[in-house]
A and B are shown apart, each in its own frame.
Chain A
Amino acid sequence: MRHFKSMVVLNEEVSPGYARIRLTAPRVIMRAKPGQFVMIRVSEGIDPLLRRPFGIYDLGSFMPEYPDAPLQDYLEVLYKVVGKGTRILSSLHHGDYLDILAPLGTGFTQGNPEEEKILVGGGVGLAPLYFLAKQLVKKSKVKVFIGGRRKEDILSVTEFERLGIDTYVATDDGTLGAMGLVTEVMESNLANGDAKRSIFACGPLPMLKSVAGISERWGVSCQVSLEANMACGVGACLGCVTKGRNHSEQTPDYRCVCKDGPVFDSREIMWE
């Protein structure tokens, strides 16, 4: 993990209320694994005070605009404008600087390439799944299931399709794709196949809980990437913990989402 100053290269809306920001990063960022995240300090001041965690959406390199410059590596994150921190983020322009810790946490385990890889995501939960898909498609058959309330909440369909991935969409109001829950679409798809599969999910907690249940029913291994309020992102504050499956008052089992996660085997977690 590294602590660095980063320059905003682009910051653009990808759907109403959602944006993608590209940030310069040191070379070592290329070693980041899908599922790992970054902590961004959006202002030098004390309000907002804490960093904000974001999953890595993409990595790459670009040619700077001045002559003979070496390639510059970058990382990208997707964000939804929800509060003070992300509002500030959305106001930044090319040339602005941010303070970043990255990469943090564990990544997804990609497993046996023979398996069909089922990706399920909602909202900005798509971010780590896109990064993951880019690596998985090199060796495996990949399907992605994208869910949201309305069509504005469905992100990155074009990007997934461009990778040659079968892309399924569901919205609560039917404004894009099937009407209903993405988890239902995914489960009926699971029912139609018999290949050996594994599931990778990231999104709102109720969705992840449902995916975990489906994976149990079908006996398919499943990794989930959790979200949590975080202060430090490095395992020190213990603010972001989640309960392990065998947690009880007598035998407590709290896992740090930031350090032990954010990616967990769905069977390791207590789903409440």
Chain B
Amino acid sequence: MKKPDLSVEIAGIKMRNPVMTASGTFGYGEEFSPYLDLDTLGAIVTKGLSLAPRAGNPTPRIVETPGGMLNAIGLQNVGIDAFIEKKIPFLRNLNTPVIVNFFGNSIDEYAELAARLDLVPEVAAMEINISCPNVKHGGIAFGVDPKAAFSVVKAVREMTIKPIIVKLSPNVTDIVEMAQACAEADADALSLINTLTGMAIDLDKRKPVLANVTGGLSGPALKPLALRMVWQVSRAVKLPIIGIGGITNAIDALEFMLAGATAVQIGTANFINPGIAQKITEDMELYLVKNGITDVKELVGALEI
């Protein structure tokens, strides 16, 4: 049988397969090059970037929970200048699209970052983080208010001709409303979901485990919630969707595609197995071969109800 076609396209970004790495779980790509071939991935999404470098939160920053983990890293990152100077040269040599996740403290900052990234040829697309729940001014206000989200996306849209992906937070009453606001502001694609705000408590100390008190829950525990949200949004909005949430294998990934995702991002699973993203691409191909599916795109939104 002919090799199945795994390629997908999101907002003009051509990817050899639907498997991307999620922001904040894959560093700047380089950290993982000893463990997999970065040129087998669909795309790489780099760690959330801000204008100035950010220190992040005090420790403890992470704690494991059943089937998942909480993190409150606090958006620690090198800032855009160091990113362009020190991280781009490595990424330039890859044959895989690089998508830069970024966030600002104000609409102006989002716009300024977008304007600067627009000039970097190695950046295939931008992913706007409007949803990281850890930092008071890290974007949470934008991620839970459709009007604020609309304003941010609109401001970014005016600054760039590159594709814009908006990463949605699950910490809202109605994620469809958020998705619609982003679509109206002319976003090109949506990625969902970001982490769900949670907390862990140490009974004997009577204290929260994380220094930040709350953190973002990720990992397999999140998958059912993420699937439901991808499915709801895909039925309501025409934009292509990137499914994220607890994906640890090719089966999980293909379930997200059935629910309506054109591509997926692998997050926490990268921490457990740094070579997992490539393994998922290989297993996905095997699944298609075994089931006589010639094109992975046939599965997008093919859920039968």
Chain B residues engaging chain A, CB cutoff 8 angstroms: 24-27, 31-32, 34-35, 53-56, 59-64, 66-69, 71, 73, 76, 219-221, 248, 268, 270-275
Known: A3-B274, A49-B67, A49-B219. A236 touches B56 (CB 8 A): no
List of A residues within 8 angstroms of B59 by Cβ: 228, 240-242
Of the residues B25, B26, B272, contact of A49 by C-beta under 8 Å: B272
Q: In the bound complex, do residue A235 and residue B31 qualify as a contact, i.e. CB atoms below 8 Å apart?
A: yes
Can you name the residue of chain A whose Cβ is closest to the Cβ of B28?
Answer: A236
List of A residues within 8 angstroms of B54 by Cβ: 252
Of the residues A41, A48, A236, A247, contact of B64 by C-beta under 8 Å: A48
Q: Digitize A1-35: 1 where CB-to-B-CB distance is under 8 Å, 0 elsewhere.
A: 10100000000000000000000000000000000
List of B residues within 8 angstroms of A137 by Cβ: none
Within 8 A of B (CB), among A39-54: 41, 46-51
Of the residues A46, A236, A238, contact of B61 by C-beta under 8 Å: A238
- In angstroms, Cα B305 to Cα A140, docked, is 73
A213 within 8 Å of B (CB atoms): no
Interface of chain A: mostly helix, strand, loop or mixed: loop
Q: Digitize A225-253: 1 where CB-to-B-CB distance is under 8 Å, 0 elsewhere.
A: 00011111011111111100001010010
Size of the chain A interface, CB-CB below 8 angstroms = 30
List of A residues within 8 angstroms of B68 by Cβ: 49
A/B interface sample: 6 pairs, CB < 8 A: A49-B220, A50-B271, A51-B272, A231-B271, A238-B73, A252-B76
Q: In the bound complex, do residue B56 and residue A237 qualify as a contact, i.e. CB atoms below 8 Å apart?
A: no
- In angstroms, Cα B68 to Cα A232, docked, is 13
List of B residues within 8 angstroms of A229 by Cβ: 60-63
List of B residues within 8 angstroms of A238 by Cβ: 56, 61, 73, 76
Query: Given A49-B220, A238-B56, A252-B54, 8 more contacts at CB 8 Å?
Result: A50-B64, A50-B272, A101-B274, A231-B271, A232-B270, A239-B71, A249-B55, A252-B76
Q: In the bound complex, do residue A232 and residue B271 qualify as a contact, i.e. CB atoms below 8 Å apart?
A: yes
List of B residues within 8 angstroms of A252 by Cβ: 53-56, 76
Interface of chain B: mostly helix, strand, loop or mixed: loop
- What's the least CB distance linking A84 to chain B, in Å? 9
List of B residues within 8 angstroms of A254 by Cβ: 55-56, 76
Q: In the bound complex, do residue A236 and residue B26 qualify as a contact, i.e. CB atoms below 8 Å apart?
A: yes
Chain A residues engaging chain B, CB cutoff 8 angstroms: 1, 3, 41, 46-51, 99, 101, 228-232, 234-242, 247, 249, 252, 254, 259
- In angstroms, Cα B220 to Cα A259, docked, is 26
Can you name the residue of chain A whose Cβ is closest to the Cβ of B72?
Answer: A239
- In angstroms, Cα B24 to Cα A151, docked, is 44
List of A residues within 8 angstroms of B24 by Cβ: 237
Q: In the bound complex, do residue B272 and residue A41 qualify as a contact, i.e. CB atoms below 8 Å apart?
A: yes
Q: In the bound complex, do residue A236 and residue B76 qualify as a contact, i.e. CB atoms below 8 Å apart?
A: no
Q: In the bound complex, do residue A239 and residue B26 qualify as a contact, i.e. CB atoms below 8 Å apart?
A: no
